[in-house]
Amino acid sequence: MTRPRELSSSLQLFPARTPTLLPATHTNSYALGGRDLVLVEPATPYADEQRAWIEWARALVSQGRKLVAIVATHHHPDHVGGLDVLARELGAPVWAHELTVERLAPETRALVTRRLVDGENIVLEGPRDESWRVLHTPGHAPGHVCLFEERTRTAVVGDMVASVGTILIAPGDGDMQVYLEQLDRLASLDASVALPAHGDPIDEPTVLFRKYIAHRLAREAKVLAAVRLAGDAGADAGALVVDAYADTPMHLWPIAKLSLEMHLEKLEREGLIVRVGPADDGADGPARAAAFRVV
């Protein structure tokens, strides 16, 4: 693995090992700017990787660049695992969306000096000035942000898509409907390249954004078909995954079930399915997950 990897005269990629979801093993950080410098994704919690990350950042500063800030795209551990150490060692302020800040550890929140908002521009002065527009793109995580540079049509997309593995939309942080809406928004940018947190840069991002949307909707159709198959008695997510993810290896079903629950939430919100009570209505055993049937 080559690191850092120079993508242009003002753009570098630095992959660092993180506790992320397999098959990904690393989270990409990016250095943006030819003179003013923003580092995206203070990701790694591992001491050896943090030392390498700090050396990378200091090498950039030694070239005459000015470290303006560290940006966190969202609050998941494989994206902010090094936030505290990296920010303090480099003396750099942290920028993030308010909904990300709320989910950081209390001792870390004080490091955030700027709450990023949708539509604002991060202007980086240099041999050629860059203007990175902030896009609030929830769905995977409530405070998720992407960055888009208008002139080069480059998008930093965090965990909206990946070129290795897939993106999990999970209960608690996720919203499938919002995620699909934000993918459509990203597709409308007509970006020339997308820089994901996991995997290589994506040369045809609009194609991939549309492919993600189509894949999710196709899976949703299978979820709805599985609910219909369950009949009036309904079925819970654990039972539905067997039919809805029959094309997926069984060892992945526990993770698939999380996405399935997000599809059920979306379908229920749209009025296509309804809850019919717990899968087991017995008063004596432990509480069971809700069952669903079609309307």
Residue 104 has pLDDT above 60, yes or no: yes
Cα atoms in the Cβ-side hemisphere of radius 13 Å centred on 249: 2
- Banded pLDDT at 277 (limits 50, 70, 90): confident
| Beta carbons of 41 and 79 less than 8 angstroms apart | yes
Q: Quote the CA–CA distance of 41 and 87 in Å, as a whole number.
A: 11
Q: Which amino acid is at 24?
A: A
- For residues 250-258, average pLDDT: 94
Residue 225 has pLDDT above 60, yes or no: yes
- Banded pLDDT at 165 (limits 50, 70, 90): confident
DSSP string over the chain: --SSEEEETTEEEEEEE-S--TT--EEEEEEE-SSEEEEE------HHHHHHHHHHHHHHHHTT-EEEEEE-S---HHHHTTHHHHHHHHT--EEEEHHHHTTS-HHHHTTEEEEE-TT-EEEE-SSS-EEEEEEE--SSSTT-EEEEETTTTEEEEETS--SSS-----TTT--HHHHHHHHHHHHTT--SEEEESSSS-BSSHHHHHHHHHHHHHHHHHHHHHHHHHH-TT-B-HHHHHHHHTTTS-GGGHHHHHHHHHHHHHHHHHTTSEEEEEES---SSS---PEEEEE-
- For residues 228-252, average pLDDT: 95
Q: For residue 289, what pLDDT is reported?
A: 79
| Beta carbons of 43 and 80 less than 8 angstroms apart | yes
Q: Quote the CA–CA distance of 238 and 246 in Å, as a whole number.
A: 13
Q: Nearest 10 degrees: CA dihedral of 133, 134, 137, 141? A: 150
- Banded pLDDT at 2 (limits 50, 70, 90): confident
Q: Quote the CA–CA distance of 49 and 161 in Å, as a whole number.
A: 24
Q: Quote the CA–CA distance of 27 and 69 in Å, as a whole number.
A: 18
Q: For residue 128, what pLDDT is reported?
A: 94
Q: Quote the CA–CA distance of 258 and 256 in Å, as a whole number.
A: 5
Q: Quote the CA–CA distance of 74 and 96 in Å, as a whole number.
A: 7
Residue 1 has pLDDT above 90, yes or no: no
Q: For residue 287, what pLDDT is reported?
A: 53
Q: Quote the percentage of the chain above a pLDDT of 70.
A: 97
Cβ neighbors of 251 (< 8 A, separation 6 or more) are none
Q: Residues of 232-267 as b/e, b for ≥16 C-beta within 10 angstroms?
A: eebbbbebbbebbbeeeeeeebebbbbbbbbbbbbb
Q: Residues of 121-132 as b/e, b for ≥16 C-beta within 10 angstroms?
A: ebebebeeebeb
Q: For residue 288, what pLDDT is reported?
A: 62
- Banded pLDDT at 279 (limits 50, 70, 90): low
- Banded pLDDT at 199 (limits 50, 70, 90): very high
- For residues 126-148, average pLDDT: 97
Model confidence over 32-75: pLDDT tens digits?
Answer: 999 999 999 999 999 999 999 999 999 999 999 999 999 999 99
Given the structure tokens 């299978």, which residue do they identify?
222
Closest of 56, 97, 55 to residue 79, by C-alpha: 97
Record the tokens describing residue 33, joined without a space: 């700017």
Residue 282 has pLDDT above 80, yes or no: no
Q: Domains of the chain by range and CATH? A: 5-203 (3.60.15.10), 214-294 (1.10.10.10)
- Banded pLDDT at 120 (limits 50, 70, 90): very high
